[in-house]
Amino acid sequence: MPLLRDKIIEKILNASAKKKLYILDFIKSKKNGATVADVEAFWAEHYEGRLISTSGKGTNRVVDNTIRNTLVELEKLRLLTREKKGKSFVYFLAEEANELKENLLESSSITDLLRWAVTFSKYKGLPFITELEDVMGMNIQDALIEQDLNEEDLRPYIDFETSDRIYSGLGLNAYTSDITSTVAKNLADFYEVISATNETVEFEYRSFQKDKLEIISHAEPWLLKEHNKRWYLIAFYNGSLRPFSLDRILKLTKGFRSRPYKIPETFDPVKHWKDCIGIYWDEKKGVQEVSFELKNGPTYNNVKYLISLPMHSSQKSIRLDEVWTRFEYKIHIGPEVVRQIRQWGLENLRNIQPGWLDEDVRFG
């Protein structure tokens, strides 16, 4: 079996499954079968044996006393057969088990995994690429060499419009004109907090609205979310959930005296943004009724385009005449809503509701 497959199996199987697999491998290697004592000695020697001292008698090895139960389980699963020889039972590998390990990860599965790895490899700034390489036990390029493949052999089945520069964190920083890797570093740092550390953080932040440096202290990172070519940290801060753009998080405080937190089990990103367009939600006003009338045109077919590609799942359309159609929504109103409506051109819009939204679209 290829080395890569062994490494992946080692990563994905739990301790009990690994134990069964190793025992099956051992019995398979014994042409004349293996007794319980043989398996116990093998397991003690290679995996679970502990040396203990007994007064005047040197050292003895303590064996795992669950081996017999494991063998009984494997026999019930029809992976082992048992024959009586003298006073002992001897175990043999059943035919059903001969290809068990091979079938855990067939060669086609290895190829699919590598195709997935290559597809996402241009987003090397994303922390899960490192996790994927940890599962494989080697970096992507070494895995391709071992499987005698190259990237051309693994043409991706999907492609992403978002530039790899966005995902790797390379881009114009909002407050310097330099190419920076700030976003990539923030992705890695906050991914570690969310996935493993679960301790509050402090960082320097500069928002577009305030345009001044804030110290955000004891924020609880809950989620990393990408929207419209920008990464956001979704964090619980000062009693509410807030989005912080990663390119405007300038510096994490080192040596900050953090405290542990727990992400609520009730937090569901899909439900949280169900009534939103973009990253913004309004906790105070909540979901509101929004509508506007859009003029169709012979060249750009605005109405047909919006019907075929709804701005939100709540969208309803009402045809008023040959030219105008009213679109209705139930959504949180935020900056993205304003931009989405404005994109149709002010000359093609009328009767935007609520009235204050009309002001924002036309003059905001």
CATH of the domain at 192: 2.30.30
Burial tier of 337 (Cβ tally within 10 Å: 0-12, 13-18, 19+) = buried
pLDDT values of the chain reduced to their tens digit, one per residue, 364 residues: 455 656 666 666 667 777 888 888 888 888 889 998 898 888 877 765 544 445 555 555 555 568 888 898 888 888 899 998 888 899 998 876 766 555 555 556 677 777 777 777 666 666 777 777 777 777 778 888 877 888 777 777 766 666 555 555 555 555 554 445 778 788 888 988 998 889 999 999 988 777 788 999 999 999 998 888 788 999 999 999 999 998 889 889 988 999 999 999 899 998 999 999 988 888 888 999 999 999 997 777 899 999 999 999 999 999 999 999 999 999 999 889 999 999 999 999 999 999 999 999 998 7
| Same domain, residue pair 93 and 115 | no
| Same domain, residue pair 68 and 130 | no
What does the pLDDT look like over 278-331, one tens digit per residue? 888 888 889 999 999 999 977 778 999 999 999 999 999 999 999 999 999 999
| Same domain, residue pair 96 and 8 | yes
* Domain closes at, from 61, 77, 102: 102
Q: Is the dihedral of CA 297, 298, 302, 306 positive or negative?
A: positive
C-alpha span between 153 and 169 (Å, rounded):
28
Tell me, yes or no, whether 195 lies in a domain.
yes
Q: Is the dihedral of CA 31, 33, 38, 42 positive or negative?
A: positive
| Same domain, residue pair 178 and 228 | yes
CATH code of the domain covering residue 42:
1.10.10.10
For 239: left if phi > 0, alpha if psi spans -120 to 50, otherwise beta; the answer is left
Tell me, yes or no, whether 279 lies in a domain.
no
Tell me, yes or no, whether 329 lies in a domain.
yes
Tell me, yes or no, whether 271 lies in a domain.
no
Residue 346's contacts (CB-CB under 8 Å, 6 or more residues apart) are 361, 362
Tell me, yes or no, whether 141 lies in a domain.
yes
* Domain closes at, from 81, 102, 123: 102
* Domain closes at, from 231, 265, 299: 265
Domain count within the chain: 4
Tell me, yes or no, whether 225 lies in a domain.
yes
| Same domain, residue pair 98 and 113 | no
Q: How many helices (H) and strands (E) does the chain have?
A: 14, 16
What's residue 119's pLDDT?
74
| Same domain, residue pair 213 and 254 | yes
What's residue 228's pLDDT?
81
According to DSSP, residue 199 is labeled B
| Same domain, residue pair 141 and 182 | no
| Same domain, residue pair 201 and 142 | no
Tell me, yes or no, whether 90 lies in a domain.
yes
Residue 26's domain comprises 3-102
What's residue 124's pLDDT?
61
Residues 116 and 129: beta-carbon distance below 8 Å = no
C-alpha span between 230 and 265 (Å, rounded):
26
| Same domain, residue pair 147 and 208 | no
| Same domain, residue pair 77 and 28 | yes
Backbone angles phi, psi at 41, to 5 degrees: -65, -40
What's residue 230's pLDDT?
82
| Same domain, residue pair 127 and 206 | no
CATH code of the domain covering residue 296:
3.30.70
Tell me, yes or no, whether 313 lies in a domain.
yes
| Same domain, residue pair 97 and 117 | no
